Structure 1
């Protein structure tokens, strides 16, 4: 198995060709939102650290380790809420529940999104967490109060995931399943895939003892440039994550 910098050099040869640009499915037009955070789970890492009791981790599909899976697509703090004195911290913590209180119970207490069969099937493949009603919760928290149509919201999220998974960065992660990788190497591969300086758009989330297991990544995307993702100009900075200098990329 190739590991570390030798693989980075291999991926550098692929360069920009792996940064797939989509043909677009229409914009998520929300007034006063300047960027989205695409939250993608590394499913083996999630199941190894915090999801052991979840339905989607009890009998995981091996294909979920062939790329990242969808956690959510999170609009930034809307201007209308900022004008009311809501800060970013509270928006990330409570989202739409600021205006519409969260019901008692778990994720399944929220209404199920009404999706056409084809999209529902695609979302089931993209988001293993649907088995725990993650889709119910994600829409209720991050989209319902912004009048985002359910179909458009999830179709866009699935599309962005597919584009990202077709990249040299994801190939690097998949190749290194079961290995320890330096955080700096992950950032270097991200920048070789999507452009110099784009590592600032990557937030790495790690769990386990000492934050040594990669569980999720988050990517900042300009709200006006979703159609261009993951081109360099579509990416915007996020705050850095909290991971050990070297992390384990778990395998199923």
Structure 2
């Protein structure tokens, strides 16, 4: 093991003791039939906003930026190619690009036209507002319409599970490592090592790093593969599934809002 890896394992050991989370009823309620895994897409909001040519509302309003102080925020929870779509000859790339819009084409216009407003109770609305500042641009409605509506995933269960997953990652040693390094640079392998320190040796294959900006040097998102039938066990090692590698530079900037 390299010296920087030993240091990370030692430095994060105490955090690891408190970061493991038991199965949550929100995760147990979400159905998982007809597809193999989820991809949990978590945005590093300052990085996303700083590399976006036309920043959306959640990047422009200070009150919405402030919601990101807890760490990663929710982009989406994406089921893999459903078996019934595969049987129709639809490939993974088409599903990834279009999702449920293959069956019910998306209405033209903003994300707000993708799906009617949700009627969540106050507690879930507040949790989702904190976890997903993109709700200001109707990102929640677009994500559900594209990735979940055609799979029979109940709206409330889908977002309650998503909020729980965000909290687990942010409260983990991995989330703490990223938060502690915001405003600076880290080696790409240090991020992977921090993930393995939090979730188990070899789990780094379940992590995909997304970067944008000049030279792909700014961290904008992480994506985590989770077995659909093991969602309630997340973040146990056996609940994680491999992801394709991202396209990030060797050293990454972890942006922070001014």
TM over 0.5: yes
Match of 1:97 in 2: 101
Matches within 5 A, 1:1-252: 6=7, 9-15=10-16, 17-25=18-26, 26-50=28-52, 53-60=55-62, 61-110=65-114, 111-252=116-257
Shift of 1:231: 1.1
**CA distance in 2: counterparts of 1:37 and 1:115, whole angstroms:** 23
Superposition TM-score, scaled by structure 2 size: 0.92
| C-alpha spacing 1:17/1:206, structure 2 compared with 1 (3 Å) | same
RMSD (Å) for aligned C-alpha atoms: 1.8
Aligned residues: 250
1:213–1:247: 8 Å Cα contact kept in structure 2?
yes
1:65–1:251: 8 Å Cα contact kept in structure 2?
no
1:47–1:57: 8 Å Cα contact kept in structure 2?
yes
1:36–1:223: 8 Å Cα contact kept in structure 2?
yes
1:113–1:135: 8 Å Cα contact kept in structure 2?
no
Return 5+ residue gaps in structure 1 as ranges.
none
**CA distance in 2: counterparts of 1:41 and 1:178, whole angstroms:** 16
Return 5+ residue gaps in structure 2 as ranges.
none
Shift of 1:52: 5.2
**CA distance in 2: counterparts of 1:169 and 1:138, whole angstroms:** 25
**CA distance in 2: counterparts of 1:84 and 1:176, whole angstroms:** 46
List structure 1 segments (4+ residues) > 6 angstroms apart after TM superposition: none
Shift of 1:217: 0.3
1:37–1:218: 8 Å Cα contact kept in structure 2?
yes
